[in-house]
Amino acid sequence: MLKQIAVIIFAVFAGLIFHGQSIATQGPMAELQIETESKVTESSSPFFVQYGIAGKPSSLAVEKPHRVWVTLPDIDAIGVISVTQIEQTTTSYEVTTYFLEGGSKPYDLAIQGDTIWFTAYGTNKIGRLNSTTNTLQTYTLTDSDSGPTGIHVATNGIVWFAQQKANKLGRLDPSSGAQQSYAYPIADGGLDRVATFGADSVWFTAPKVDRVVYFDESKPPQEQFINIPTFSNHLFPYTRPTGIALESAQIAWVSVAGGNSIGRYDPGTLALWRWDQLPSQGEEETGSIHIALTGGNGARNLFYANEMTKRIGRVHIGTNTAVGRIQEISAPGSNCTPLGIKADSDGNAWFTCGAANTVVYWKSPFLLDIYAPLISK
């Protein structure tokens, strides 16, 4: 059943300069088109359930088990998949699509309660959707055509985002609408994904300069960016960090497309980095590898989606943080190029298949050894 609903949204278009910050102001009201469709999917796989969706999903975020949000840049929209009933071989679900301003090209999103934050790369805005009231507020960034990419919300409610074209890290305080941006000191870093831990730990990837970066807002401007190279002529042959997941405020897991590996950065160790190569190599190093880390203490899983090889994998991390088994399997279907991947609170994973117009739920037991290679460390 297809329902089309028009609701009123609040859009914030312009800003004022005040004490070095941009204070967002409320603009005119506009209409937001919403479409909801009920669907049923069948699956005989013990670990994959595929959900069809309008558009080509790219990035995603998990609100709770069986409810995930995705960006749909090809149709200038974001969407949510809500599972309504699970039976033995069939799953019923609803897909709700929120159509944004033309040319928005949403890039990434993050969830804070019933609020979904997203970056609109094409229109140079940050969006804030309330999924309960179906109201949307947008903030135009003060740096024109700044290319907002990755986004994450800290536990204190501050929204952090990367500005790829402007080569800056952005900060938005939703309580006041105040914006700040911090110029990254290395030119053309290609700032991409952002991750936060707690209120004050902010990280991002700079794949064009082979850096993972820790940002410390409390330090003087010349000391705020702590650059951590993934590549060194003598030590690390790893280039283009494309995925990041935080174990703690100071410890990051990173995936690198150049080198087809994952690494754990720990400033408390002598070597700083510990690297493990993934099983399959792509024919060309032209894609991304994104990662997701399950929560909790002790043993956990790190999931990855390899765009280059069209495969997904699970890395078992022991209680001592050592990498154990690495298991990998082809993404389901003949046209699935896995892009974004996230873990839910049940310890399962979700990933997007952009070209296949599907979002895939990857559940325990994840894979059987007869389906995939097993690498023991």
Q: Would you state the pLDDT for residue 296?
A: 80
* Beta partners for residue 51, in sequence order: 359
Q: Would you state the pLDDT for residue 2?
A: 41
Residue 3 has pLDDT above 60, yes or no: no
Residue 130 has pLDDT above 70, yes or no: yes
Q: Other CB atoms closer than 10 Å to residue 97's CB: what's the count?
A: 19
Residue 68 has pLDDT above 80, yes or no: yes
DSSP for 280-291, written as a single string: ---SSS-S-EEE
Q: What is the DSSP letter of 209?
A: G
Conformation bin of residue 87: beta by default, left when phi > 0, alpha when psi is -120 to 50: beta
Q: Which two tokens stand for residue 207?
A: 């794949």
| Per-residue confidence band for 146, with pLDDT thresholds at 50, 70 and 90 | very high
pLDDT per residue as tens digits for the range 357-372: 999 999 999 987 545 5
Structural domains of the chain ordered from first start: 12-289 (2.130.10.10)
Q: 184, 167 in Cβ contact below 8 A?
A: yes
Q: Would you state the pLDDT for residue 234?
A: 67
Residue 13 has pLDDT above 90, yes or no: no
Q: Which residues have a Cβ under 8 Å from the Cβ of 219 and sit 6 or more positions away? A: none
Q: Would you state the pLDDT for residue 31?
A: 65
Q: Would you state the pLDDT for residue 122?
A: 98
Instruction: Average the pLDDT over 237-266 and give the result.
Output: 94
Residue 27 has pLDDT above 50, yes or no: no
Instruction: Average the pLDDT over 217-244 and give the result.
Output: 89
Helix/strand/coil for 188: coil
pLDDT per residue as tens digits for the range 268-318: 888 899 999 998 766 556 678 999 999 888 899 999 999 989 999 999 999
Residue 1 has pLDDT above 60, yes or no: no
